Structure formats: C-alpha cells, structure tokens
Copies of this chain bind each other. A is one copy, B any other.
Amino acid sequence: MKKTLLLAFALAVPALAAAQPAADQAALLRDQAMRGDTLAWELVEGLTTEVGPRQAGTEAEARAREWAVRRLTALGFSNVHVEPFEMPVWMRGIERAEIVAPFPQPLVLTALGNSAATPASGLEAEVIGFQSVDELRAAPDAAVRGKIVFINHAMAPTQDGSGYGQFGAPRRQGPTLASRKGAAAIVVRSIGTDYHRNGHTGVQSFGEGARPIPAAALTVPDAEQLQRILNRAGERPVRMRLTLTPRNIGRRQSGNVVAEVPGTDPAAGVIIVGGHLDSWDLGTGAIDNAAGVAITTAAAHRIMQAGRPRRTIRVVLFGAEEVGGGGGPTHFRLNNPAGNVVMVGESDFGADRVWRVDFNFAQGNAALADRIAALLAPLGIVRGQNPAGAGADLSQWVRAGTAAIDLNQDGTRYFDYHHTPDDTLDKVDPAQLRQNVAAWTAVLAVLANAPGRIEGITPAPRPAR
C-alpha cells in the first residue's frame, strides 16, 4: 500500500512542476509538500519501527545504515554509499539507586554517557546536594570527598532551545568537577522539562586528569524527591546505594550514509543537508533524529522528482552524533578537499514545526536569503537575526567558511522527550512534520536552482547546543 501511494505521488508532481518558472516552482513544490507529503512519515515510522533504538557503534546502528542504503536506493537517489569510521563504544548496564536512610525507597535514574561503573554490588555513600554547578565548584573538597554529589536545578522550556547550553552544565561539567573534588559518584537532575520517570541521558566526557566516576541523571520527579528527602532529613545523613554497570567495549564501526541528487552543473557546487542516523539507546530516536533524516530526505526527493536541479544536493545521514560526533568530522575530512560544497543545513531539533529561519550567507547572496524568507513566510516562519550555524554534524563546514541555513524548529516540548525512553513515534505530529518538509523543499528548490554563485562566508563562532 505504501509503495503504491509513493508511486502515484511521484508521477503526479514532475509534469506540473516542470511547466512553472523557478520561483513559482518552489512555491508549488512547497505547497504540494505541505498538503500531501507522506514520505517523511513513512521514513520516520520505518526507521523507528524496523530498526528502533540505534546507538552509535552497535549492531543496531549498522542495521540502520543497511536500512538507509536500501531505502535511499529504492527512492532513486544516486551515489548511495557508506562512509565508515571507527569509534570507542560505551554501553549502558544495570542502573539502580535507592535511598538507604533515613527514608528507604528506590529512585529512578539513567547513566550518563562515559559514566564509570560502580562495583557490581553497588556503592553506598552519603548524598551531598547542590543547587548548581557553581555551588559545587565553590564547595570545599573535604565536604565532597567520598560522597555522592547531587546537583539539582530547574530547566524551563524555551521555543528556541536556548536553555540547553546553560541548563546542560550539570551534565557536562558536573561529573568532571565532582571527580576532581574526590566524589564517589554524581547524580544530576535530568536535563529535561518533563515530569515523567524517564531519565534524560546524554554524553559527557571527563576532563583532563579527572578520574571517571559513576555519573547518572535522576528523572525530574526523582530529583525533586531526593531534594525533599534532603530537606526532611534535617541533620540525619541521607545515604544512597548506587549501582551502575556500564562498560567500554572498545572500538567499533560506525558510518555515514550518503546519497545524492546529481546536479546539471558541477561547477555550481554541492548543497549538503541531512540529519543523524544514530540515536540514544533508550528510545527509538523518533524526534532525535529519525525526523531530521526523514525531513531532509523527503525534501531532496521532491526536488529530484521535480526534474534535475542545477546544483547537486547531497543528503548525509550521520553516524555517532549522540556520542560526540564522529560522523560529521569524517564527512568533512573526506569531502572538504574537493572544495565544492557551497551550502550546508541540518535538521536535528525534533519534528515540531519550523518557526524561524536564520541565514549565514555572504553579502552577495542577500537577495537569495530574501527570496527564501519570502517563500517560508506563508508557512508561519519568521526571519531571525542570528547567524546560522548548521547542526552539530555540519558545524565544521561553517567554521571553514561555507554558507549555512538554519530552519529552527519549535523546541517548546523537545526537552520533554530528548534522550529519554519517551522519544518514540507517537511524539511526532504528522502535520508539523509535513511543514518541515515543505520548508526544506522550498529552501532546496531555491538554492539548488539559483543562478549565479553561492559564495563563502566569514564565519562567526556559535555557542554549542
């Protein structure tokens, strides 16, 4: 049934589109996507159902690559291939915590990436609570030594996701800080905006000279519970038993999957779009990032079906984004020498609607940005003033002077699900997914067919997300 639908769709579009002048064609393709795209949903459902969780470097991520090669080939993309690379792999084990005294009860948490293991029987220690990383930093080492550090904090949702940098500090800096002060372990409040008993995992790396210690994220309800337990315990020490048994299993293979829509004019350059194929192990990676994979693939596919564009569109589905980003650098290293990439953009912030577009275009391409902004306005997308940075996987290109575009998605509920078991297909809204496809289709229709030259930029640094 799904194949029939796609075929009918593919037949319907090109004839119409070919008859229109370029600007009208972009609007037409945009509106067709908005009304009736089914490919993106089919891809999100397919990847999350037929593969499911696909942690970088695992056999599941390898199955995701096979799935992607098969699907991209069947969709008619050219030059479909894998760019393999190796990476160290950390695997989650048992994760369990309980308050031993004064109010015995279990707590729910999940290990952070690169956490050390406790003994198999767990470790028991007193809990010392802090309200921020700065409070931990200010604490005397003697107060922290041998204890389980707890960092509480509160993260509020923001539409642009800008809280992630600031509120992510307990996860990113906490473990190293706690280790340097001699803590036995650290538990942080999840970097999340929900109230469900699903922990938010995420990568962290122990800094130079910091011995790895067990590090985990309590769910938000459990972090608030631990805070209440500390409050009610008064002078009595709060003791926790923590069991985490993750393992470093050595180097394994990951890889990017690459596919192209070949352009008619090799001298006009290549446009890279994409998302990342790997996910965290806890959910099925629907919003992070089957959605980005599907949105950019579906948009590129629409351009392909509408007739051969002037510029080559390359879709890159990156490997190992979640665990530190081996795929982005690999693609840059292999492809930058060709010197033909003129524009980059990644979709990696969920599946909710695009609400803002940001550009990082050369002055000479200002008219191109104006044209794109005008085409996006009917989708409810405002024009922002921030320099686009592309996603984590493409940031090297921007730093090297490649023009970039960001289609910023609404992040209001993104951190309810991000890096949790709750990142599943039901969190994807088909209508908003279609709006994403429509926006990227309009962008690609303009950029791939624009006359003249897409120029390089003088890049500005961008804060990490």
Interface, chain A (partner B; CB < 8 A)? 45-46, 48-53, 60, 63, 99, 103-106, 108, 195-198, 220-221, 224-225, 228-229, 232, 283-284, 420-422, 424-427
Contact = CB atoms under 8 A, between A and B. Distances in A.
Given A50-B103, A52-B105, A228-B45, A197 B426 contact: no
A424 B225 contact: yes
Contacts of A420: 197
B421 A284 contact: no
B53 A284 contact: no
Given A49-B229, A51-B103, A197-B198, 11 more contacts: A45-B228, A49-B225, A105-B284, A108-B421, A195-B422, A196-B422, A197-B420, A197-B421, A221-B424, A221-B425, A224-B426
B49 A228 contact: yes
B196 A284 contact: no
B196 A198 contact: yes
Contacts of A196: 196, 198, 422
A426 B284 CA distance: 27
B425 A224 contact: yes
Given A103-B50, A103-B52, A232-B49, A225 B108 contact: no
Contacts of A229: 49
Which of A46, A108, A421 has most B Cβ within 10 Å? A421
Nearest to A283: B197
Contacts of A221: 422, 424-426
A319 to B, nearest CB: 18
Contacts of A63: 104
Contacts of A220: 426
A317 B51 CA distance: 48
A255 B318 CA distance: 58
Contacts of A53: 105-106
A128 B424 CA distance: 23
A421 B424 CA distance: 18
A76 to B, nearest CB: 22
Contacts of A48: 225
A232 B221 CA distance: 36
A225 B105 contact: no
A50 B232 contact: yes
Nearest to A427: B195
A18 B221 CA distance: 42
A91 to B, nearest CB: 13
Contacts of A103: 49-52
Contact of A426 (B46, B195, B421, B427): B195
29 contacts: A45-B228, A46-B232, A49-B103, A49-B228, A49-B229, A50-B103, A50-B232, A52-B99, A52-B105, A53-B105, A60-B104, A63-B104, A105-B284, A108-B421, A195-B424, A195-B426, A195-B427, A196-B196, A196-B198, A196-B422, A197-B283, A197-B422, A198-B198, A220-B426, A221-B424, A221-B425, A224-B425, A225-B284, A225-B425
A463 B51 CA distance: 44
